[in-house]
Structure 1
């Protein structure tokens, strides 16, 4: 329909998701009644605009009147002056889909008429009022083989309770002869045309709009997110609930994830139009992909130290804690290579989000020949807290590091007290490494939203094994 909003905007959002059969989802969405109501308002406004442009065919025929004979009539140049849909509702039908009803609708039509009875001919104009028009539409939501959402109007019925037609002309008795015939014919034609228009709009407007939902989202040169549908959304008494795969994958090599998603149970919240549930599985598959791609390896050199920090990354600084360094590698620049032996996993619970990464720190001296001489290998662990937000349709994050713990795994320069390096490593982690990570997290990962959907009034809550994002929806029409 007009402006590509032929049906339910938030229904499209629900249809972009799906139920997982054998396992738990990595991502979940709930469209509440408030969301469906918002969608209904936009959909009915678009339907009203579409129906007001209906083209009605000319009507002609004849009928026999006792003691009069055959009456020939013709109605032409039919034009809808208005079509109003004042009252409507939408509700989910459990295990079926959605049902939209429109009641108390009314329309006005005008046109020209012509009639002939024997030698009597007359013509003029007419006004026709349609009152108490009722429309019921059933929508079935599904997915195709590629995981794209689908929608189908499985049923449409229309009923007009009252039609009144007013003719202009000289022979009042003549108009009354075919008054009821015209009204009956017009009722049948309009009821058919309305449903024909609805069915056509679902296929030509709603279905293409659903296809704007990205079932995969490219993040960068290394990773993407799989948002493909795996089953139709499930209608409950109060909402549309739907699950999707919610899994990061490598663009270079799409391999299976070695762990299953945990259970994801939504609380009965209905204050917002839509709720997203991002499982710990969703975030941890991202960690797997970036770890395998080598993106969690960081190299720190002296040139990367912020100007506000009053020291340099060289053997002279470290010789205060490791005296033998000055003898073996006097006044040489150093490089630190930080890597994670395994992908760090995010834990989500009612108390918040956290992770305990394990990091290996390999220190090198940079020789005059630019080659590297290994110095020592440290193991660093610590508590890192995470905060998540949603901005411009993206999930964004920020990390804050707590106290770090160091241990010596290997030394090429002899034994030394690791605890003496604690404060320096804290500075490297919080002053250099963490800002780089947070700059990347600020770019975020896109939520699965169809075209021209914007979120507002966002709220976030952490639950066991998943983060819940609640939001209201705004559909931005073109033009």
Structure 2
């Protein structure tokens, strides 16, 4: 026992003189690492297994805001409301890998989703005509890349923020159902134009939802990561 006490007094003094000892260890500054660990590929595979079902669930249950778009070609505007995900195709792959400095990159490949909503609006063809019916959109080969920066809260727990987001929609098909004669006319003449505009809007809508998912879900899980560990468990 006396030998251990002598070592406990002697080693810090020796390390301090050699410049290899951090004086903060005397008081134990919470939030600064006492032990550093390097996460290898199996560790990232584990995190990926936890993140994958979370992302799939959030994408499947996404609340899509109403869409309003004016079309000068037809002299009017359309509104799509009550948008709901009616079909969801799981991603072909979700990959997680590190990136400097202190970042994680999540790559989601080939998601498919079908969305329905209520169509309203008005166009002018000789005279104003009201739009109505249901609009159905099928989007395929959606890819999303999200960069996450990792910092620390005041209590030392990890805090994740979205640093960048990029989404690409390669295929999109839109058609109007139960829209009467005007709906049939739109399907025949304006389907491509409407689809092109909506395809440009989707990446922004997706990336606007990602920070909400990160803040409400990932950071909740990050708060549960233990900040201390007893020597008896080492």
Partner of 2:181: 170
Partner of 1:116: 123
- In the alignment, does 2:83 pair up with 1:78? yes
Asked whether the equivalents of residues 175 and 187 of structure 2 are also in contact (C-alpha less than 8 Å), the reply is no
Which of the residues 104, 115, 134 maps onto 1:98?
A: 104
**What do the CA deviations read for 1:434-476 (whole angstroms, capped 9, x no partner)?**
xxxxxxxxxxx346xxxxxxxxxxxxxxxxxxxxxxxxxxxxx
Partner of 1:62: 70
Describe the SS at the equivalent of 2:64: coil
Describe the SS at the equivalent of 1:29: coil
Asked whether the equivalents of residues 135 and 175 of structure 2 are also in contact (C-alpha less than 8 Å), the reply is yes
Deviation at 1:101, TM superposition (A): 0.4
Change in CA separation of 1:72 and 1:88 when aligned onto 2, cut-off 3 Å: same
- In the alignment, does 2:164 pair up with 1:128? no
Equivalence map 1:225-374=2 (5 Å): 225=230
Q: Distance in 2 between matches of 1:155 and 1:120?
A: 42
Q: Distance in 1 between matches of 2:67 and 2:34?
A: 57
Which stretch of the first structure deviates more once superposed, 202-211 or 156-165?
A: 202-211
**What do the CA deviations read for 1:127-182 (whole angstroms, capped 9, x no partner)?**
21111111111122233454322222211221212211122243433334442443
- In the alignment, does 2:81 pair up with 1:34? no
Gaps of 5+ in 1: 1-21, 218-224, 226-282, 284-444, 448-479
Q: Distance in 1 between matches of 2:69 and 2:207?
A: 24
Deviation at 1:41, TM superposition (A): 3.0
Gaps of 5+ in 2: 1-19, 23-32
Q: Which has the higher helix share?
A: 2
Higher relative contact order, structure no. (Cα contacts within 8 Å, ≥ 6 residues apart): 1
Partner of 2:199: 187
Q: Distance in 2 between matches of 1:180 and 1:32?
A: 47
Asked whether the equivalents of residues 51 and 194 of structure 1 are also in contact (C-alpha less than 8 Å), the reply is no
Describe the SS at the equivalent of 2:186: helix
Change in CA separation of 1:164 and 1:100 when aligned onto 2, cut-off 3 Å: same
Aligned residues between the structures: 198
Describe the SS at the equivalent of 1:99: strand
User: What TM-score do the two structures reach when normalised by structure 1?
Assistant: 0.37
Which of the residues 57, 60, 77 maps onto 1:52?
A: 60
Equivalence map 1:134-145=2 (5 Å): 134-145=143-154
Partner of 2:209: 197
Q: Which has the higher strand share?
A: 1
